[in-house]
């Protein structure tokens, strides 16, 4: 049912009070009114099967009744306290038990904060300044993270390129940039700068690009050899690739990892997790003033977010949950391949069954620069067609999830066929 205020009206109002008429996340022309299960509705009442899922957090779907019940119970007890609370402690116990690298965790509110603190912890622990990251890797909004995230100018490695105005030139000097999936380049770069590198930070599955065999293992071997902290950014992959995240799925355990999205069950919650000897830098009584890493956050460990996260993780741990999500993804990946092959369209399906998309290129996609070879015009037509068929997805990502139904999958498969035909119309 259409609301009394149209989506266009909301967009016009947003343009007056919000820069670029939006929150900076998604295209501002769509204003979501509500979500339930696998579907969302905009302010005009248009219905979509949701593969955006809040940019990842809603892995069990919108408004899951068990999560709502847990949240409602907590709401009656209090919204936030700033002090420790029992639910936050319980969730920390669950995270430590689930995540291979985690001896301890420290809460923050966003994944970007977690990444920032992970890099800061690594610097505190090693006494070194340089950070090695991989071109195209996303690690939040800190100055370090916004080096060579999506550079428009491709320069020689390991030079960094700032992706935002307002970043001091000095930040560039402490960043080393390497191509994802090039193990030998990383090995040589680490060896050359070993005495200066505090950490190597990497998305174990970089945006959509899976690691080549041996790549993560090389990073683990070389960082251990030189006393460098290895950080896995698992804000996306944590509790998505497997219950224990990419560490479980790929069998490579870092020193630190960052978690977010799924662990808050739709509420703002994230964490740094890792070895006690590194996490000790959050404890002044152990490391003293010189080694202490200062961190506080008004909503860190918020009890409402914690109960939502606890119930979400409980549901995901139940038998068959991950198998179901993977089967959904495998089915849709096959359908997309068949639809595009049927129209003779060159493409690569990139990612994992829990998180994937299509790149319109005949070249295998192993790094950020391979993604740039894709046909952006084809991608735009494809995504517009999917939206017209009632499929909500980001421009370069499709999240599968537990709430998808058989009807959803059938509609999505039909939308893929329609989108493939639109590319040759």
Question: Could you report the per-residue pLDDT of 255-286, keeping only the tens digit for each?
Answer: 999 999 999 999 999 999 999 999 999 999 99
Nearest-angstrom CA–CA distance, 177 and 148:
7
- Treating both helix axes as pointing N-terminal to C-terminal, what angle do 321-342 and 406-422 enclose, rounded to 10 degrees? 20
Count of residues making up the chain:
425
Backbone angles phi, psi at 323, to 5 degrees: -60, -40
User: What is the dotted CATH code of the domain comprising 7-63+320-422?
Assistant: 3.90.1150.10
Name the CATH code of domain 65-316 (choices 3.30.365.10, 3.20.20.120, 3.40.50.410, 3.40.640.10). Answer: 3.40.640.10
Concerning whether 357 is annotated as a catalytic residue, the answer is no
pLDDT of residue 425: 85
Contact, 222 vs 182, CB < 8 A?
A: no
DSSP bridge partners of 50: 392
Specify the residue for token string 């291979």. Answer: 100
Nearest-angstrom CA–CA distance, 105 and 341:
46
Concerning whether 261 is annotated as a catalytic residue, the answer is yes
- Report pTM: 0.96
DSSP state of 105: E
The angle subtended at Cα 311 by Cα 90 and Cα 333, nearest 5°, is: 125
- Segments of the chain scoring below 70 in pLDDT: 1-3
Give every strand in the sheet of 32-36, ordered side by side: 32-36, 39-42, 47-50, 391-392
Q: Which of 130, 261, 366, 378 is catalytic?
A: 261
Q: Would you kindly state where each structural domain of the chain is located, as residue ranges?
A: 7-63+320-422, 65-316
CA diameter of the chain? 68
Concerning whether 233 is annotated as a catalytic residue, the answer is yes
What Cα–Cα distance (Å) separates residue 67 from each residue in 40, 144, 308, 404? 18, 36, 6, 17
pLDDT of residue 1: 47
Nearest-angstrom CA–CA distance, 425 and 417:
12
Q: Which of 42, 233, 352, 357 is catalytic?
A: 233
DSSP state of 153: S
**Sign of the dihedral defined by the CA atoms of residues 21, 24, 27, 33, in that order:** negative
Q: Which of 51, 138, 250, 399 is catalytic?
A: 138
């Amino acid at each position: 049912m259409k609301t009394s205020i149209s989506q266009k009206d909301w967009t016009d109002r947003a343009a007056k009070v919000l820069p670029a008429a939006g929150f900076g996340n998604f295209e501002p022309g769509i204003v979501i009114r509500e979500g339930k299960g696998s579907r969302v509705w905009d302010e005009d009442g248009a219905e979509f099967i949701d593969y955006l899922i809040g940019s990842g957090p809603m892995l069990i779907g919108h408004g899951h009744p068990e999560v709502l019940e847990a949240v409602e119970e907590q709401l009656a007890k209090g919204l936030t306290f700033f002090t420790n609370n029992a639910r936050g402690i319980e969730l920390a116990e669950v995270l430590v038990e689930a995540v291979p690298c985690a001896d301890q965790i420290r809460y923050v509110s966003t994944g970007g904060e977690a990444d920032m603190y992970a890099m800061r912890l690594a610097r505190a622990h090693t006494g070194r300044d340089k950070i090695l990251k991989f071109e195209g890797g996303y690690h939040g909004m800190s100055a370090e993270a916004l080096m060579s995230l999506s550079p428009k100018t491709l320069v020689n490695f390991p030079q960094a390129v700032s992706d935002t105005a307002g970043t001091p030139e000095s930040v560039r000097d402490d960043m080393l940039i390497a191509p994802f999936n090039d193990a030998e380049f990383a090995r040589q770069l680490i060896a050359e700068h070993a005495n200066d590198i505090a950490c190597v930070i990497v998305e174990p599955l970089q945006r959509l690009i899976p690691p080549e065999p041996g790549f993560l293992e090389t990073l683990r071997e070389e960082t251990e050899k030189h006393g460098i902290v290895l950080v896995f950014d698992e804000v996306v992959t944590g509790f998505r690739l497997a219950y224990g995240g990419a560490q479980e799925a790929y069998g490579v355990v870092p020193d630190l990892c960052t978690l977010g999205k799924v662990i808050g069950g739709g509420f703002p919650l994230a964490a740094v997790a890792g070895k006690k000897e590194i996490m000790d830098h959050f404890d002044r009584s152990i490391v003293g003033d010189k080694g202490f890493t200062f961190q506080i956050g008004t909503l860190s460990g918020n009890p409402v977010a914690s109960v939502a996260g606890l119930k979400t993780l409980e549901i995901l741990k139940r038998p068959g949950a991950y198998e179901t999500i993977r089967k959904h993804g495998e089915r849709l990946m096959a359908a997309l391949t068949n639809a595009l092959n049927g129209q003779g369209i060159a493409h690569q399906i990139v990612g994992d069954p829990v998180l994937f998309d299509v790149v319109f290129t005949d070249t295998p996609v192993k790094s950020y620069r391979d993604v740039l070879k894709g046909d952006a015009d084809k991608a735009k037509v494809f995504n517009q067609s999917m939206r017209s068929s009632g499929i909500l997805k980001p421009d370069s990502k499709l999240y599968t999830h537990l709430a998808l139904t058989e009807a959803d999958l059938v509609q999505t498969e039909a939308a893929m066929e329609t989108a493939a035909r639109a590319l040759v119309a």
